[in-house]
Amino acid sequence: MAKQIWKPGTILYPVPVVMVSCGSMEKSNIITIAWTGTINSDPAMTYISVRPERYSYNIIKESGEFAINITTEELARATDWCGVRSGRDYDKFKETGLTKEKAQYISCPIIKESPISIECRVVEIKELGSHHIFMAEILGADADEKYMKENGKFEFEKSRPICYSHGEYFGLGKKLGKFGYSVEKKKTKARRKKNK
pLDDT digits (tens, 9 = 90+) for 42-72: 999 999 999 999 999 999 999 999 999 999 9
Angle at 135 between CA 130 and CA 19, to 5 degrees: 75
Q: Is residue 179 part of a domain?
A: yes
For 16-47, what is each residue's pLDDT tens digit?
999 999 999 999 999 999 999 999 999 999 99
Q: Is residue 8 part of a domain?
A: no
Q: Is residue 10 part of a domain?
A: no
Taking the whole predicted model, whether its pTM rises above 0.85 is answered as yes
Instruction: Give the pLDDT score at 11.
Output: 83
Q: For residue 91, how many C-alpha atoms fall within 13 Å in the half-sphere facing its CB? A: 10
For 133-149, what is each residue's pLDDT tens digit?
999 999 999 999 999 88
β-bridge mates for residue 72, sequence order: 161
17: Cβ–Cβ under 8 A, 6 or more apart, which residues?
32, 33, 34, 71, 79, 162, 163, 164, 169
CA dist 37 and 68 (Å) reads 10
Q: Is residue 3 part of a domain?
A: no
Residue 152 maps to which CATH number?
2.30.110.10
CA dist 63 and 194 (Å) reads 55
Domain that holds residue 62: 15-195
- CA-atom Rg of the chain in angstroms: 19
Q: Please state, rounded to an integer, the average pLDDT across all residues of the chain.
A: 93
Q: Is residue 2 part of a domain?
A: no
Asked whether 114 and 82 are in contact (CB, 8 A), the reply is: no
- How many folded domains does the chain comprise? 1
Q: Is residue 6 part of a domain?
A: no
